[in-house]
Chains A and B, each alone.
Chain A
Amino acid sequence: MPTNALTAAHALTDVTASDSMLRRFLHGLPGVDAVGLEGRAASLGTRSIKTTAKAYAIDLAISMVDLTTLEGADTPGKVRALGAKAVHPDPTDRTTPATAAVCVYPDMVATAKEAVAGSTVKVASVATAFPAGRAPLAVKLADVREAVAAGADEIDMVIDRGAFLAGHYRKVYDEIVAVKEACGTSARLKVIFETGELSTYDNIRRASWLGMLAGADFIKTSTGKVAVNATPANTLLMLEAVRDFRTQTGIQVGVKPAGGIRTTKDAIKFLVLVNETAGEDWLDNHWFRFGASSLLNDLLMQRQKLATGRYSGPDYVTVD
């Protein structure tokens, strides 16, 4: 850690003064070689995780899940069921850790908050006109304030990909800063890039730095609502970004891959990426999350299998 961490952070804020200064800074970041990045992610995917390490990894992964329901058809009943499951993911085995959070739309925050009351489970809410982000800033900020007022501990915001792709970095930056302010001191801010729409790895690295400069507590791959969501490669890239950001500023930022991670095997591969890229400082649910809804059941079934030696099947875990 640099001893002058604060000075370094201050120096970095200078680069956000204008579009052109931001562009110069973001485009001056080291490039990303796609073949090399994907090769590295694939090679880490061949790590063999067995026995005690696997048991540890499964519990860690469960504790990192943001249990999510983001459907137009969400009802209070559905959200309450989700909350109950987040607190006790496996009712047959109370040693199972709780998930990190439940993630709902802003109008469901109060219901979710009640459902997880008295537990460690946080309530996260996707505000800012999720998932498209195509709304006036005032609407996005109102969305955030409502969610925070209803008790949300975490806000998952989407960036304006259109502005980013058009090179209006300062606009994206300003929005994140404004949302962060709306979060106040009570809610942590996760910034979603929708990496599938950013298209290149260079863009993902730039977005990561832009998000961190603007004060993101977490950087998150995607909404889970597009074709390409979290991949080992884009998550590896974001882990490199938070690692480098902490080296330069002393500020630690979390990472959340979301969408498409369905199996225990995949989740463990992501934990290996964390372990060998950012390091063990990120190996807890304050700094790393899985945005996944179907992942939890597979983790639970694998956990039961480790405990009993037999694979039970989907009827031995709850459907929601």
Chain B
Amino acid sequence: MASAFEYAPAPESRAIVDIAPSYGLFIDGEFTEAADGKVFKTVSPSTEEVLSEIAQAGEADVDRAVKAARKAFEEWSALPGSERAKYLFRIARIIQERSRELAVLETLDNGKPIKETRDADLPLVAAHFFYYAGWADKLDHAGFGANPRPLGVAGQVIPWNFPLLMLAWKIAPALATGNTVVLKPAETTPLSALFFADICRQAGLPKGVVNIVTGDGRTGAALVAHPDVNKVAFTGSTAVGKEIARTVAGSRKKLTLELGGKGANIVFDDAPIDQAVEGIVNGIFFNQGQVCCAGSRLLVQESIQDELLDALKRRLSTLRLGDPLDKNTDIGAINSEEQLTRITSLVEQGEAEGAERWSPACELPESGYWFAPTLFTNVTQAHRIARDEIFGPVLSVLTFRTPDEAVAKANNTPYGLSAGIWTEKGSRILAVANKLRAGVVWSNTFNKFDPTSPFGGYKESGFGREGGRHGLEAYLDV
């Protein structure tokens, strides 16, 4: 942004984080190397700097982790809920105490702006542990009958877009309900999970209750397929989710899947325009659009299309892209080269199909993986960019004329994770929300999360709910 008032760089110091040159697997309370000694590297997406070497867990390692979790399950599940709560509260407090360190770490490993890890991710991570700590001794009153039983060993596979937050969503309810855990973080963002392992030790959590196995898809596949895992929880792409569903089918494992999305953000002509613009920006450019519930399809009422698009473009011109550790950065780096390639190819298809591409004037750093915020107009339902999840900072703009048309278009997707409604008319909010097939419908806001609120999808966005009282069900034998 060319302005008389140029903000000087305000980088957060990375001195607060001490990243070791290599990390092992966290099994039975100890860090240990992979049985076959294989390792892979994790890089910082904004600079391509190698941050550390991480152990690649094989089948034998996964088996060891599951065994440790099985052994720990006996004691952990037998503890009174109030005792488990103490550990969870302790973990929550340590996360708060170490939040600056974890925020910097997450930004380094993931590429998202420090503003988001500091102000969104970390407070939510702590809040999830606090919230489920509160449930641990009240499970009899959660609506699942008296004395609901835990399932056993939970195998959990999480994505790279919110590494620590997804860990919290998975581990907090699992532990609160008396399960033990083997968790596999994403290959590109393993570090915060390994730091979490250290937090478990700091909290004095009994050995084996939480185990972290790092690695790529093969590690995840081994964990999901392990015969002694009782519950599988997965957040990630729909393609992998389908594979997992096939693997688990016919076994007695309980499964929850939280998969992709193509959320519709519906703006009616009586919407609070300035706030709608903020909500659209937050809906698609938060975490560089690498959010499964992103509002990646903007459905705008034709009568205000021009006005809204002008306002949106003006607003996009003020977004600041660059060093994610800079406290003034709004848009950070794309998580991996692979993801950048996928975004680029989908955007090229959008252009080839005749949609009109627009980005604000924006300089991209020379190293690292970057993609400028992008807007597509003249998009129709038939375009691939209106159907496929791009998982990047790319917004497709469609129009509608009547509320019925808005609902029909919003629902016309294989996904069903999130949607947004912008209107000043309360009755319309309720009427439209009732007709939308999406797990979360936000009105006059977007991308707001809270541990007390259940989250999950319809159709190809998966099944099962995380968060809230509903989130307990996935870890209880009910």
Name A residues whose Cβ lies closer than 8 Å to a Cβ of B: 30-33, 35-37, 39-40, 46-54, 56-57, 60, 240, 247, 271, 275-276, 279-280, 283
A47 contacts across to B, CB distance below 8 A: 7, 327-328
* A-contact bits for B139-177, CB 8 A (1 contact / 0 none): 000000000000000000000000000000000000000
Q: Check B318 against A33 for contact (C-beta < 8 Å).
A: no
Please tell me which one of the listed residues A48, A50, A271 contacts residue B5 in the complex, with CB atoms under 8 A apart: A271
Please tell me which one of the listed residues B3, B5, B279, B310 contacts residue A36 in the complex, with CB atoms under 8 A apart: B279
| Stretch in contact with the other chain, from B95-103, B211-219, B269-277, B398-406 | B269-277
Please tell me which one of the listed residues B4, B7, B278 contacts residue A48 in the complex, with CB atoms under 8 A apart: B7
Q: Knowing that A50-B10, A275-B5, A276-B318 touch, tell me 16 more A-B residue pairs with CB under 8 angstroms.
A: A31-B271, A31-B272, A32-B272, A33-B275, A36-B274, A36-B444, A46-B327, A47-B7, A48-B7, A48-B328, A49-B10, A50-B7, A56-B4, A247-B310, A275-B3, A279-B3
Q: In whole angstroms, how far apart are the Cα atoms of A46 and B115 in the complex?
A: 8
CB distance from B27 to the nearest CB of A (A): 40
Q: In whole angstroms, how far apart are the Cα atoms of A317 and B274 in the complex?
A: 41
B115 contacts across to A, CB distance below 8 A: 46
CB distance from A226 to the nearest CB of B (A): 25
Q: In whole angstroms, how far apart are the Cα atoms of A31 and B426 in the complex?
A: 13
Summarize B's interface: helix, strand, loop or mixed. Answer: loop
B273 contacts across to A, CB distance below 8 A: 30
Q: In whole angstroms, how far apart are the Cα atoms of A312 and B24 in the complex?
A: 52
Please tell me which one of the listed residues B4, B9, B318, B444 contacts residue A283 in the complex, with CB atoms under 8 A apart: B4
CB distance from A291 to the nearest CB of B (A): 21
Q: Which residue of A lies closest to B3 (CB)?
A: A280
Q: Does B445 contact A (CB under 8 A)?
A: yes
Q: Check A40 against B4 for contact (C-beta < 8 Å).
A: no
Name B residues whose Cβ lies closer than 8 Å to a Cβ of A: 3-10, 115, 119, 270-275, 278-279, 310, 318, 327-328, 424, 444-445
Please tell me which one of the listed residues A31, A37, A49, A247 contacts residue B424 in the complex, with CB atoms under 8 A apart: A31
A-B contact count (CB 8 A): 73
B445 contacts across to A, CB distance below 8 A: 33, 35-36
Q: Which residue of A lies closest to B114 (CB)?
A: A48
A-B contact pairs, 30 of them (CB 8 A): A30-B271, A30-B273, A30-B274, A31-B272, A31-B424, A33-B275, A33-B444, A35-B444, A35-B445, A36-B278, A36-B444, A36-B445, A37-B275, A40-B275, A40-B278, A46-B115, A49-B10, A50-B7, A50-B8, A50-B10, A51-B8, A53-B6, A56-B4, A56-B5, A57-B5, A60-B5, A247-B310, A275-B3, A280-B3, A280-B4
Q: In whole angstroms, how far apart are the Cα atoms of A36 and B275 in the complex?
A: 5
Q: In whole angstroms, how far apart are the Cα atoms of A275 and B279 in the complex?
A: 20
**Central interface residue in B8, B310, B318, by most chain A CB within 10 Å:** B8
Q: Can you list the 9 inter-chain pairs with the closest CB atoms, starting with the nearest?
A: A36-B275, A48-B10, A48-B327, A31-B424, A30-B273, A33-B275, A33-B272, A53-B8, A31-B272
Q: Which residue of A lies closest to B2 (CB)?
A: A280
A31 contacts across to B, CB distance below 8 A: 270-272, 424
CB distance from A64 to the nearest CB of B (A): 12
Q: In whole angstroms, how far apart are the Cα atoms of A54 and B8 in the complex?
A: 8
A271 contacts across to B, CB distance below 8 A: 5
Q: Which residue of B lies closest to A247 (CB)?
A: B310
B5 contacts across to A, CB distance below 8 A: 53, 56-57, 60, 271, 275, 280, 283
Q: Check A32 against B274 for contact (C-beta < 8 Å).
A: yes
CB distance from B203 to the nearest CB of A (A): 30
B327 contacts across to A, CB distance below 8 A: 46-48
Q: Check A37 against B7 for contact (C-beta < 8 Å).
A: no
B272 contacts across to A, CB distance below 8 A: 30-33, 36
